[in-house]
Chain A
């Protein structure tokens, strides 16, 4: 089967974005996006997980019979996530302490099982890695966008606590977008996460509609059917 990489990436990052279109993995998406750095940290961990689980699932697809595929995938995903958790504890301990329970919970992000089932189990290793990377990037972008939105509205800053991810170098990355900002609590609290996600999804739909209007109909209808089919 010929793989269209451009298609893989445009699906993963934009048209079937896990966070904004397929709406999988909402629990970590809503819970950790207080700040850009938290979102980015979880996003990078998710990208790594997706790349390695897709690769492993693809490599073992001759070995895994259909009737045992779900336990096999869960084993693979749990192993990969635990490795990432251990590595984070060893090298990014402070970030690990902030993200806490959401790192092990990556296992339960059904987007990862979904990609293993829908793509990696049917494709060669290289396209599977590409798909994992694309899906992960899409999820990471959604996390960062939501984190940035909530951080600016809630605190008036961007990239605060960047030191958690980038060490001493990162400390200088913090930007004060709005000086003397009094803070807007709602954006930091769970309701703010839901409202922000809603706004983000609306913005994406609005963009898509405008692009579709500019270049006539076919694209938009195709995107819609893709969404429905892509939701496991």
Chain B
């Protein structure tokens, strides 16, 4: 038999050596790139949030002033909602909530919902989704301006009965061949507004925390 103790030990040692070399390399590269990656992430988040809240409306570190929570009543399927708080000289201005519409045609529709301090929407954007291309993807701003229809809306505008797509007797357009997708988005936005109106001070005053 060629499997002596010595050869097993040698194999283990060489494998360990490769693992150590790999780990050292990764640790080094991680150190070198860490700051840059953080800066890139910040740029992308601020870019997304900037579409909803213009930078001159706040002066806090928006991307760091975040609060995460779960509430299955409003945000089902165990979502962890990240809320960014915009403040001007410590006065609450608006929040942007990262939520998901769960009743879409195909999986979650990830949304950014911006809500001003007075309860009006400063905008909604879709960050990712798996709806049918050509039918449901009109929720993307690049494909259609439907999503801009949320701007300035609030729980009283339209009144509660109007917070639905037209086919369900509401005020929001559906798309030709796709009702499920806009219905899911309208519902999710309405729930976010309801949560905001019920928990406004909680959202603004809770201490910064991170999901991970």
Residues of A within 8 A of B (CB): 60, 63-65, 67-68, 71-72, 75-76, 78-79, 82-83, 86-87, 89-91, 93-94, 97, 183, 185, 188-189
Is the pair A97, B29 in contact by a Cβ cutoff of 8 Å? no
One digit per residue, 1 when the CB lies within 8 angstroms of any chain A CB and 0 when it does not, for chain B 12-51 equals 1011011101110110011001001100110110000000
Residues of A within 8 A of B176 (CB): none
Interface residue total, chain B, C-beta cutoff 8 A: 25
Tell me whether chain B's interface is mostly helix, strand or loop, or mixed. Answer: helix
In the bound assembly, the distance between CA atoms of A183 and B143 in angstroms comes to: 13
Contact B14 A63 (CB under 8 A): yes
User: Are A83 and B18 also in contact (CB < 8 A) when A89-B40, A90-B37 are?
Assistant: no
- Min CB distance B5 to A, Å, is 14
Residues of chain B within 8 A of A83, CB atoms compared: 25-26, 29
Which residues of B are found within 8 Å of A188, using beta-carbon distances? 133
A89-B33, A91-B36 known; A75 and B22 CB under 8 Å?
yes
Residue of A nearest to B14 (CB): A63
In the assembly, what is the distance between CA of A78 and CA of B19, in Å?
10
10 CB contacts below 8 A, A to B, read A64-B18, A65-B7, A67-B11, A68-B11, A68-B15, A79-B22, A82-B29, A83-B26, A91-B36, A185-B133
- B177 near A: Cβ within 8 Å? no
Residues of A within 8 A of B210 (CB): none
- From 94 to 135 in chain B, residues with beta carbon under 8 angstroms from any chain A beta carbon are 133-134
Complex Cα spacing A89 to B10, Å: 37
Interchain CB contact under 8 A, A63 and B17 = yes
CB-CB under 8 A from A185, the residues of chain B are: 133-134
Q: Are B33 and A90 in contact (CB under 8 A)?
A: yes
What 3 pairs between A and B have smallest CB-CB spacing? A79-B22, A93-B40, A90-B33
**Are A82 and B17 in contact, CB atoms less than 8 angstroms apart?**
no
How distant is the Cα of A89 from the Cα of B29 in the complex, in angstroms? 12
A65 touches B14 (CB 8 A): yes
B30 / chain A contacts, CB cutoff of 8 Å: 86
| Chain A contacts for B7, CB-based, 8 A | 65
Partner of B29, one of A63, A86, A93, A183: A86
- For the A-B complex with A60-B18, A63-B14 known, give 4 more contacts whose Cβ atoms are closer than 8 Å: A68-B15, A72-B15, A72-B18, A83-B29
A185 to B36, alpha carbons, bound, how many Å?
37
Residues in chain B near residue A91, CB distance under 8 A:
36
Contact between A75 and B11 (Cβ–Cβ < 8 Å)?
A: no
Q: In the complex the two chains form, is B25's CB within 8 Å of A79's CB?
A: yes
Using A86-B29, A89-B33, A90-B37 as known contacts, say yes or no to A75 and B14 having CB atoms under 8 A apart. Answer: no
Q: How many whole Å from A18's CB to the nearest CB in chain B?
A: 24
Interchain CB contact under 8 A, A72 and B14: yes
A65 lies within 8 A of B22 (CB): no
Of chain A, the residue at the smallest CB distance from B13 is A63
CA–CA, A82 and B18, complex, Å:
15
CB distance from B116 to the nearest CB of A (A): 28
Task: Report the separation of the CA atoms of residues A75 and B37 in the bound assembly, to the nearest whole angstrom.
Answer: 24
Known A90-B33, A91-B36, A93-B40: A75·B15 in contact at CB below 8 Å: yes
Cβ contact within 8 Å between A65 and B37 = no
Q: CA–CA, A75 to B22, complex, Å?
A: 7
Q: Complex: how many Å from CA A71 to CA B14?
A: 11
Task: Report B-chain residues with C-beta under 8 Å of the C-beta of A93.
Answer: 37, 40-41, 43-44
Please, which residue of chain B has its CB at the minimum distance from the CB of A183?
A: B134
Bound complex: CA A183 to CA B23 (Å): 47
User: In the complex, A14→B10 CA distance in Å?
Assistant: 40
